[in-house]
Amino acid sequence: MPEMPLETAEDVLAAGLPVPLRPLARIAFDYGWSWQPGGEALWRAVDPERFEACGRNPVRLLREAPRRTLEAAASDPALLDAMARLARALDAERAAPAAAAPPARPEAPIAFLCAEYGIHASLPIYAGGLGVLAGDLLKEASDRRVPFVAVGLLYRRGYFHQRLDPSGMQHEYWTTVTPEQLALERARDAAGAPLSVRVPICARSVEVAIWRAQVGRVPLFLLDSDVPGNAAIDRFITAQLYVGDREYRLMQYALLGIGAVRALSALGIRPAVLHLNEGHPALATLELAREPLARGEPLERALEEVRRRVVFTTHTPVAAGNEAYAPAELAAVLGPYLAALGLGSDEALALGRGTDVSAPQPFGMTDLALRTSRSANGVSRRHGEVARAMWAHHWPGRRLEDVPITHVTNGVHLPTWMAPAMRALLERHLGADLLAGAADPARWAGVDDIPDEELWAVRCRLRAELVAFVRARSVSDRLARGEPIAYVERAARTFDPGVLTSGFARRVASYKRLHLLVADPRRALAIIGGPRPMQTIIAGKAHPRDDAAKTMVQAIFALKGEPFAGDRVVFLEDHDLETARALVAGCDVWVNLPRPPLEASGTSGMKAAVNGGLNLSVLDGWWCEGYDGANGWAIASAPAPDTILQDARDAGAFYTLLEREVIPLFHERDAAGIPRGWVRRVKASLRTLGPAFCTARALGDYVRTVYGGGA
């Protein structure tokens, strides 16, 4: 091992702590703490208020806490004990030998490339499902000890924060984090010098610093162009996730794709497989072709070499997720780079074309990825079908079922998403090692034998915890919006821990059809204000340039003056990983109303399911293979040309299910006050969905059928 310089960020943090607390620095620099039991409790034990005020960021907590707080912590035996246990657990994880996962080996890992990662709320480099899924896969790879590294971008301004005004209009703002405030180390070369690479953007050579975040065993390398020597425009390339300007986004994708390959090489990592997670990093394949092209191989031969090592996952059929650039846009950002590769502009453009007709066509990132990878997959069975139809023109003459796009259905990382109370219950009844074998349906069979009373007690406790969270958050949200005091106070009083609670929280994209919740306002209000009431929590951000989505949020707010609405409907602002965790744990019913077939998978419903929440969803994405008639509720909605009619029909089906099935079942209690039929459904949901929709199953599929399925 090369000698590392003494002054790592972790050393500096440790040096500022009282001696007994120094192991906390080691814990803070490994996001593994966030899914170890007791991890969060440890930071709360230091200072609960400050932990919240620091955005649950342990590095800031330790750096900003006053000396007397740290001294008090250093003399708390229970805290020191918990610290020692957690440090030992994390060290043991890091030291354990790697699992056999051919072709991945420790010296030739899987390299995962993605534009966003949802690891923890304190690392704000994600926007929604794509990033959270990527984060969950890294965590699972760490748990399963699969040799894995990941590369992404360090967005110092991250994704935007959301504020609503009293009319429900969304306003965006950005806060800046510096790498010093995060659990990041500069990656260094063998001599200890900070590593950076250069990426050609337009006619410039942009310096890109490489940072490392440790996600358990898995290093996540983050590329950062905010380097003093760069021009101001270039320093901004990695500032903002999904920045609105197209040219800037293309620069980001160039920096991600080309930069990832160069960074891995600078780090001395020779991946067995590169996994392009969504089309954003697809330009990596051109950089991989550079060496064979320089050797004089013709393009097609060079690409054959590239293809042997690259796999691709497509994540959405929505057009905005499959970006394409006009030839002039591509030339402006990548012209000099492509010329240096020796690629003629027609040759380069042809790689990203939808079909091979010669008329000028935009350069699609998904098209490029499909042409330059050995395998492609969608993210649910249904999405596999949709993707085969959508991209069939890449394989002219083949029958649809022979189009070589498979699927690996998404899953969720159970240690992250399963609430402690549910985890404790299941481990007590199904075995302490349930999560280690979570993908095995046999391990979940015993769910049916858990006494109804115990399962129901945990559900009521999780709902009560959510209600406490919602009260606190909605009071502060309403205060910040400048609402009248009386309206603020209603949030604190009336959300009720005993009332049927439904949730709808995800990015507010038009196809997710948030507006269906209030498509028939009279009927919706009658449901929430009826004799057997229901309360609803809504959360999610609309993309700053998506006015249609913003209007959907306002449609919800339009009802806030109605009787009951202010008491039983809450919009939680600034949805993130933390609000998501609270919501999926406590909601009884998780609602999803996408316009089929646009929901590639969806994952928030899986998170609700593993906490004993029941899904009520349009049959699309993962729910097409998850729903079995007894483990939730489904709305069948065929793709329809008349979207207004389709919306009206689906909203009607949604209300009918609530009125006739969901609400009666929840209120049908026996003498002991237990809703037996409801609990039966919860059990069916846990038993069938737990093993099928966890990342243990999803990662296992990737290792066996995608990474191991190549040449």
Ligand X SMILES: *Cc1c(COP(=O)(O)O)cnc(C)c1O
Q: Could you tell me which residues come within 8 angstroms of residue 374 by beta carbon, excluding any fewer than 6 positions away?
A: 307, 308, 309, 310, 311, 710, 711
What is the smallest separation between the CB atom of 647 and ligand X, expressed in angstroms?
A: 18
What is the smallest separation between the CB atom of 590 and ligand X, expressed in angstroms?
A: 8
Given the complex with ligand X, which of 353 and 575 has the nearer CB atom?
575
Given the complex with ligand X, which of 129 and 352 has the nearer CB atom?
129
What is the smallest separation between the CB atom of 509 and ligand X, expressed in angstroms?
A: 8
Given the complex with ligand X, which of 627 and 707 has the nearer CB atom?
627
What is the smallest separation between the CB atom of 582 and ligand X, expressed in angstroms?
A: 11
Given the complex with ligand X, which of 592 and 688 has the nearer CB atom?
592
Given the complex with ligand X, which of 143 and 576 has the nearer CB atom?
576
Provide the Cα torsion 10, 578, 381, 438; round to 10°.
70
What is the smallest separation between the CB atom of 541 and ligand X, expressed in angstroms?
A: 9
Rounded Cα distance, 542 and 433, in Å: 40
What is the smallest separation between the CB atom of 708 and ligand X, expressed in angstroms?
A: 27
Given the complex with ligand X, which of 119 and 331 has the nearer CB atom?
119
565-569, long-range: CB < 8 A, 24+ apart: 565/525, 565/528, 566/487, 566/490, 566/491, 567/490, 567/493, 567/494, 567/495, 567/535, 568/494, 568/495, 568/499, 568/528, 568/529, 568/533, 568/534, 568/535, 568/536, 569/528, 569/535, 569/536, 569/538
Rule CB under 6 A: say whether 586 interacts with ligand X: no
Q: Three-class SS of residue 236?
A: coil
553: number of Cβ within 10 Å: 22
What is the smallest separation between the CB atom of 592 and ligand X, expressed in angstroms?
A: 6
Q: Are 501 and 466 in contact (CB under 8 A)?
A: yes
List 603, 615, 617, 631, residue binding ligand X (CB under 6 A): 603
List 197, 261, 408, 577, residue binding ligand X (CB under 6 A): 577
Strands 363-364 and 196-201: unpaired
Given the complex with ligand X, which of 325 and 511 has the nearer CB atom?
511
What is the smallest separation between the CB atom of 228 and ligand X, expressed in angstroms?
A: 33
Rule CB under 6 A: say whether 536 interacts with ligand X: no
Site for ligand X in 676-695 (CB under 6 A): none
544-549, long-range: CB < 8 A, 24+ apart: 544/160, 544/172, 544/244, 545/244, 546/508, 546/509, 546/510, 548/510, 549/508, 549/509, 549/510, 549/514
Q: Are 500 and 663 in contact (CB under 8 A)?
A: yes
Given the complex with ligand X, which of 576 and 701 has the nearer CB atom?
576
Question: Looking at 231-239, 481-489, 569-577, 650-658, which segment touches ligand X (CB under 6 A)?
Answer: 569-577
Given the complex with ligand X, which of 372 and 695 has the nearer CB atom?
695
Question: Looking at 124-132, 460-468, 637-645, 703-711, which segment touches ligand X (CB under 6 A)?
Answer: 124-132
What is the smallest separation between the CB atom of 118 and ligand X, expressed in angstroms?
A: 6
Rounded Cα distance, 407 and 380, in Å: 6
Q: Are 241 and 116 in contact (CB under 8 A)?
A: yes
List 47, 278, 576, 588, residue binding ligand X (CB under 6 A): 576
What is the smallest separation between the CB atom of 559 and ligand X, expressed in angstroms?
A: 23
Q: Which of 657, 671, 114 is nearest to 379 (CA)?
A: 114
Q: What is the largest distance, in Å, between two alpha-carbon atoms of the chain? A: 81
Given the complex with ligand X, which of 101 and 538 has the nearer CB atom?
538
Q: Are 602 and 623 in contact (CB under 8 A)?
A: yes
What is the smallest separation between the CB atom of 47 and ligand X, expressed in angstroms?
A: 26
What is the smallest separation between the CB atom of 379 and ligand X, expressed in angstroms?
A: 10
Q: Is the peptide bond before 103 cis (omega within 30 degrees of 0)?
A: yes
What is the smallest separation between the CB atom of 222 and ligand X, expressed in angstroms?
A: 19
Q: Three-class SS of residue 149?
A: strand
Rounded Cα distance, 60 and 125, in Å: 17
Given the complex with ligand X, which of 407 and 506 has the nearer CB atom?
506
Number of H helices, E strands in the chain: 31, 20
Rule CB under 6 A: say whether 114 interacts with ligand X: no
Site for ligand X in 488-507 (CB under 6 A): 506-507
What is the smallest separation between the CB atom of 44 and ligand X, expressed in angstroms?
A: 21
Rule CB under 6 A: say whether 604 interacts with ligand X: yes
What is the smallest separation between the CB atom of 604 and ligand X, expressed in angstroms?
A: 3
Binding mask 132-171 for ligand X (x = CB under 6 A): x---------------------------------------
What is the smallest separation between the CB atom of 577 and ligand X, expressed in angstroms?
A: 5
Question: Looking at 273-281, 327-335, 482-490, 597-605, which segment touches ligand X (CB under 6 A)?
Answer: 597-605
Q: Three-class SS of residue 691?
A: helix
Given the complex with ligand X, which of 103 and 605 has the nearer CB atom?
605
Q: Could you tell me which residues come within 8 angstroms of residue 27 by beta carbon, excluding any fewer than 6 positions away?
A: 33, 39, 42, 58, 83, 86, 87, 90
Given the complex with ligand X, which of 129 and 675 has the nearer CB atom?
129
Rule CB under 6 A: say whether 129 interacts with ligand X: yes
Given the complex with ligand X, which of 125 and 306 has the nearer CB atom?
125
Rule CB under 6 A: say whether 602 interacts with ligand X: yes
In angstroms, the first-to-last Cα distance of the chain is 32
Given the complex with ligand X, which of 31 and 248 has the nearer CB atom?
31
Q: Are 638 and 618 in contact (CB under 8 A)?
A: no
What is the smallest separation between the CB atom of 244 and ligand X, expressed in angstroms?
A: 20
* Structure letter (DSSP) for residue 3: P
Rule CB under 6 A: say whether 596 interacts with ligand X: no
Question: If residue 334 lies in a helix (H) or strand (E), which one and from where to where?
Answer: helix 327-341
List 128, 168, 352, 675, residue binding ligand X (CB under 6 A): 128
Residues paired with 539 in a beta bridge: 505, 572
Given the complex with ligand X, which of 279 and 621 has the nearer CB atom?
621
- Phi/psi for 520 (5° steps) reads -120, 90
Question: Looking at 125-133, 204-212, 264-272, 351-359, which segment touches ligand X (CB under 6 A)?
Answer: 125-133
Q: Three-class SS of residue 110?
A: strand
Q: Are 302 and 293 in contact (CB under 8 A)?
A: yes
Rounded Cα distance, 497 and 103, in Å: 50
Strands 148-153 and 110-113: parallel
Size of the site for ligand X (CB under 6 A): 14
List 104, 580, 684, 698, residue binding ligand X (CB under 6 A): 580
Rounded Cα distance, 559 and 518, in Å: 9
Q: Are 33 and 42 in contact (CB under 8 A)?
A: yes
Structure tokens at 399: 């029958």
Site for ligand X in 506-525 (CB under 6 A): 506-507
Which residues contribute to the site for ligand X (CB under 6 A)?
128-129, 132, 506-507, 575-577, 580, 592, 602-604, 607
